Structures are given as C-alpha cells and as structure tokens.
Structure 1
Amino acid sequence: MDQDRIHAQKPQQDPENWSTGQIESIRSEDGHCIVTVHTDEGLIELTVTTAIRDLFVSRLPTTKEESPVGEVIWFKRRGRH
C-alpha cells in the first residue's frame, strides 16, 4: 500500500509542494492509519503507518489528552493518487 506524507509543521524544504488541511478524523484500518482531512477541495483521506501517525500527532500543538481533530497539517499524496 502506498503511503502519503504528513507533517505537523510547515516543511522547510519545498513548502510550495505541500498542501494543507484540517484534521477531521483519524482511524485505524487494516493495520494502517487513515487521516481524513478537510481541504479547500473537500475531504480527502490520507494513509500512513501508525508510527507516522504517532510522530505527527506528537508534534501537534496539543496535549496528550487533547484530540488532534481540528489541527492543521501539511501533506503530500503519494502513489495511488
């Protein structure tokens, strides 16, 4: 399965090649993490590993107790898109 790329903060290299969106939901499916993001074009689903989910969620400006829903992320879609 092709994986998308997600960052919790604006990428320093080639930021013009990244899109932004607001997290609508995060769920697990078939051993992967599906992040639904609201963009100017509508809702899209991004697929990442659970390790990447843990990494970008830990870098968001939220506490462990707070939900990442509503936070802005930067992303690149890969492979199947």
Structure 2
Amino acid sequence: MVRLPLTPAQLAVGQQLGAYLRQARGGRTLVDVAEAAAISPETLRKIETGRMPTPAFVTIAALADVLSVPLDELARICLARVTV
C-alpha cells in the first residue's frame, strides 16, 4: 500500500501536536514517557517532531493518560483544520 504524501495542513497539525506533547512532557525524558505509554521512543520522537502527524488513537490515548492531559484536548489538536 502506498501512502499519499502529507498535505501542508496535516504537517502543520503534526507540528502543533508535537509541540503540545513536548510541553506537556515537561522535565520528563522522552524515553521515560514513551516507556510509560508503551510506545517506542522513536515513535514518540516522530510524533514530537511532527513526522508522524496522524498517530493511532491508542497511542494518543496512552500519551494523554501518561502526561495527565485531557484526551479531548489532544483530539482537538489532531482534528484541527488548518488553512493553508
């Protein structure tokens, strides 16, 4: 299966999500948060840098739980419509 290239809007949403998660992580290390969320550090790194703008729901739910942030806030960011 070939994945279509990401649109500028999808890339912008990914960058916004990544920035939010980095801020929510605070002083915790990327490895600590990734392990607590049962995802690989590389997956979290890709999300935080915007290279994975559409992570799976279970990944977002796990990060919301580990970072103690409202899931609906992460959903709002992921569903944002960005004007390009």
Normalised TM-score (structure 2): 0.25
TM-score by length of 1: 0.26
- Looking at secondary structure, tell me which structure has more strand per residue: 1
Higher radius of gyration, 1 or 2: 2
